[in-house]
Structure 1
Amino acid sequence: MPKKKDVFIIEENLGDLFAPLPAPVPKATSEAERLTIERALATIVRQMEISGNRPRTISDYGIYVKHFEAATGLTFIDEITSDHVYDWLEGMDVSNQTKLTRVKCLKAFLSRCFDNGWIATRFWKKINVKVDGRIKEGATERDIRVLLSVLDLGDFVQLRDATATLLMYKTGIRINTIVLLENKHIDFSAKLLRLDGAIMKNHSELLLPFDDTLCRLLTVLIKQNEAVRRAYGVKNNYVFITKQGGIISNSPTHNNIQKRLNKYAKQYGLKNINPHALRRGFAKSLLNKGANIAQISKALGHSNLAVTTQYLHLDKEEIAENLRKYL
């Protein structure tokens, strides 16, 4: 017999029935009828939550839209113009890369306002910030060997960190996927990560192979996890857990693994030991071993090959040398 409160729970996902659609912008007859930036942001945040957007993405919307609102002194959505956006950018004492990140977020917010029918034209489309094309380097095999050689694999936390580091470098999975990884996602018999859409940024399933070294590390770690959870009376099936057996935060500022990787990088002089560098290192390693960009893009879970090329850290000389092979 189901509990009474259960009858109010809708199990079927109906979120796709009410996606925002472009609509005519109504002419406000009074200030009370005009849509404020604050109200627009609240509605869009709600839409994003229902659509399953990442908490970090939703948080960025709130931070940068509120910063724009405060810096420009604007109140209503229909007041915003290109000049306001340029003034906002000009007033920032930050790098162009940071400006680009912020304006992309604001433009995404304005696009959602347009889709909801609150803005008549996409006036922000041509607004951009030029950034030098400096490509970030990825982790190297040497970086990984140095780090693993100094970690004590007899210590639970260091074993966890070593396994997570090697897993990111050997499979390219994101740190947010790492913290959501469960025992069910690891197929030891086939030596495969079977990643379902629920833990992937692009919501697509992905199969990624792993080697004997990772197989051994994961086997030992999972066994140790059970002992930790029993000691603290915690029940879950996560592969990477805290010292008390709980789930690791996926917030960059509170993620245990990410913070400890930063600590190791400073302690041992390893500049490319961080989640993004490990992912880039995975991509470059595949390229060096003969994988084509389409295969690398699929392994990284990218939907755009242009994004994949940014991970490969190819300089002009290297490109020229590679092209020589086809002459």
Structure 2
Amino acid sequence: MTKELKEHIMVGEAINEWQGYYLTEVRNLSGNAIRSYRNGLGLFLDYLESVKGIRRETLVGDCFRVDTIENWLAWMKEAKGCSPSTCNLRLAALRSFIAFLSRKNVAFIKYGCSITSVKRIRPVKKLPEVISRETIKALFASIDTGSITGKRDFALFNVMYSTATRVDEVLSLKIADIALGSKSPCIRVTGKGSKRRCIYLLKSVAKIIGHYISVFHGKAPVPSDFLFFPINGRRNTKLCQEAVSKRLKLYASKSPMVSDKFHCHSLRHARATHWLEDGVNIVQIQRLLGHESIETTMKYVGISKEQMIKALAIMDDATTKNIEKHYKTSKVKKSLAAAFGLK
């Protein structure tokens, strides 16, 4: 067996193990994160195949040289029109795989060491687009609650906005995750890295959810059923993100106040911004959003480091415990690509 053939076999086995076991069991990444990582490696393999002429049987360690990776980054930006942030996400995926490959076999250690010298593309800094409360009101006003689909969408988008949850977090909610019977109604969501957090609901939103459940789930809701499901599907079928995005785009197109660039994540960003406007502390917003780093939250709502330091200075334990009682959180992540199942 030649050296090239041995390397090809080891690389192929590593790709399968990385995407099939490492990302899910070891890293415990969310479904979205796994798809992003797989897409990143898949795009690198697309580049090797279309630009470098690499075939499955010629995929060896030398394909992961620094100059090849740097040329790939340039190709993504120029030929594919990827933004700097997208390029950096794809690079992070490739870093993860090469690090995994080098840990599996010492023959690839040099590639694991050399990729650390590949610099991320510096993104152009821009302030987040401010979405006004009037825009959110206009969006909800465009939903026809006289139709069965409109009733569901009105409840769905109200939950997404009022709790600032990620779209997959909301679509993954089951009846068992909803607690409306107490004085402090809440939902329990599963975020990145399978981390659970509790988000308390405004009474108005709890009322909307309660009415929705009575209409769509009846008097005896099944705990294991999804809260939101396809109108023509079963309650144990999860609503897909693509369908939700299309519905939101439809409602956005009906209102001149809503930008045509409005998407599901806009609801989350809008709510975070409105919390900040209402005086909610940046640390509390971080916890509500489920961010691991406060720097992520700072970028998210567009505040400076000086503003963050000031916020930390005025925050004490009592503030943390009592701020906005409705929003307390509990303490309680076949092309070449197709040949490896990456497409």
Same fold (TM over 0.5): yes
Q: Is the 8 A contact 1:192 1:207 kept in 2?
A: no
Match of 2:85 in 1: 97
TM-score, normalization by structure 1: 0.77
% same residue:
20
Structure 1 unaligned spans of 5+: 1-27
- Which is further off, 209-218 or 184-193? 184-193
Match of 1:168 in 2: 160
Deviation at 1:142, TM superposition (A): 1.2
Deviation at 1:274, TM superposition (A): 2.2
- In structure 2, relative to structure 1, the CA distance for the partners of 1:76 and 1:310 (3 Å cut) is same
Match of 1:80 in 2: 64
Deviation readout 1:53-91 (Å, 9 max, x if unpaired)? 333333333333233234234511354111111111222
Match of 1:49 in 2: 24
Deviation at 1:174, TM superposition (A): 0.9
Deviation at 1:290, TM superposition (A): 1.8
Match of 1:30 in 2: 3
- Alignment of 1:125 onto 2:116: yes
Flag the structure with higher helix content.
Answer: 2
d(CA) in 1 for partners of 2:224, 2:281: 38
d(CA) in 2 for partners of 1:217, 1:169: 13
d(CA) in 2 for partners of 1:63, 1:284: 31
SS in structure 2 opposite 1:124? helix
Deviation at 1:257, TM superposition (A): 1.8
Match of 2:244 in 1: 257
SS in structure 2 opposite 1:190? coil
- Given residue 131 of structure 1, which amino acid in structure 2 is its aligned partner? P
- In structure 2, relative to structure 1, the CA distance for the partners of 1:42 and 1:138 (3 Å cut) is farther
Match of 1:20 in 2: none
- Given residue 3 of structure 2, which amino acid in structure 1 is its aligned partner? S
TM-score, normalization by structure 2: 0.73
Q: Which has the higher contact order (CA 8 A, sep 6+)?
A: 2
d(CA) in 1 for partners of 2:36, 2:299: 23
- In structure 2, relative to structure 1, the CA distance for the partners of 1:38 and 1:265 (3 Å cut) is farther
Match of 1:305 in 2: 294
d(CA) in 1 for partners of 2:14, 2:116: 19
2:229 to 232, 241, 266: 241
Match of 1:193 in 2: 186
- In structure 2, relative to structure 1, the CA distance for the partners of 1:305 and 1:260 (3 Å cut) is same
- Given residue 137 of structure 2, which amino acid in structure 1 is its aligned partner? R
Deviation readout 1:90-113 (Å, 9 max, x if unpaired)? 223213333223222222322332
d(CA) in 2 for partners of 1:237, 1:143: 32
SS in structure 1 opposite 2:113? coil
Q: Is the 8 A contact 2:142 2:254 kept in 1?
A: no
Q: Is the 8 A contact 2:298 2:304 kept in 1?
A: no
d(CA) in 1 for partners of 2:211, 2:136: 20
Deviation readout 1:245-271 (Å, 9 max, x if unpaired)? 432344x4x3x2222112222232312
d(CA) in 2 for partners of 1:38, 1:165: 43
Number of residue pairs the alignment of both structures matches? 288
- Given residue 32 of structure 1, which amino acid in structure 2 is its aligned partner? L
- In structure 2, relative to structure 1, the CA distance for the partners of 1:245 and 1:193 (3 Å cut) is farther
CA RMSD, Structure 1 to Structure 2 (Å): 3.2
- In structure 2, relative to structure 1, the CA distance for the partners of 1:115 and 1:168 (3 Å cut) is farther
Q: Is the 8 A contact 2:176 2:223 kept in 1?
A: no
d(CA) in 2 for partners of 1:115, 1:140: 49
SS in structure 2 opposite 1:207? strand
SS in structure 2 opposite 1:257? helix
- Given residue 188 of structure 2, which amino acid in structure 1 is its aligned partner? L
SS in structure 1 opposite 2:194? coil
- Which is further off, 56-65 or 146-155? 56-65
Match of 1:64 in 2: 40
d(CA) in 2 for partners of 1:170, 1:244: 26
Deviation readout 1:264-308 (Å, 9 max, x if unpaired)? 222323126422111111211221222222111111111111111
Match of 1:159 in 2: 151
Structure 2 unaligned spans of 5+: 315-343
Q: Is the 8 A contact 2:186 2:200 kept in 1?
A: yes
Q: Is the 8 A contact 1:138 1:313 kept in 2?
A: no
SS in structure 2 opposite 1:268? coil
Q: Is the 8 A contact 2:164 2:269 kept in 1?
A: yes
- In structure 2, relative to structure 1, the CA distance for the partners of 1:218 and 1:245 (3 Å cut) is farther
